[in-house]
Amino acid sequence: MKEKFTAEQLDNFWRDPANWKTGIYRCPADPRVIVPKRIKWMGWTVNFSHRYAWPSLLLIIVLMAGPLAILALKGFANTPVWFVVLVAEVVLVCLVCWHYASPKRYE
């Protein structure tokens, strides 16, 4: 059974300077794979002590680069279709990161 964490506990993990080394977040106690960056409005980062950190990062890169590369190979680079797909990917990744970084998921 998964351990339940309060939003306050997760925030305390995130705020602890010992969990941030040269801008990289590493906290084995934090169950989140994706967490807010040190300056929250700048987006999200990966909890590199989580076992799914590298697979998650690789998946995000593939999901972002894959469709754009396919469109570029088909001759759609720098077309409205390419830019619409780019914007849609960015919005989708932001929503997924926001969802997975939310402390409410772990309560």
Q: Which residues contact 98 (CB under 8 A, 6 or more apart)?
A: 44
Residue 44 has pLDDT above 50, yes or no: yes
pLDDT for res 1: 44
81 or 3, greater pLDDT: 81
15-43 pLDDT, tens digit per residue, is: 999 999 988 999 999 999 999 998 888 88
Confidence at 103, pLDDT banded by 50, 70, 90: confident
Residue 78 has pLDDT above 90, yes or no: no
46-73 pLDDT, tens digit per residue, is: 999 999 999 999 999 998 999 999 999 9
What DSSP string runs through 69-105?
Answer: HHHHHTT-TTSHHHHHHHHHHHHHHHHHHHHHH-GGG
Annotated domain spans of the chain: 7-106
Question: Residue for token digits 């040190």?
Answer: 38
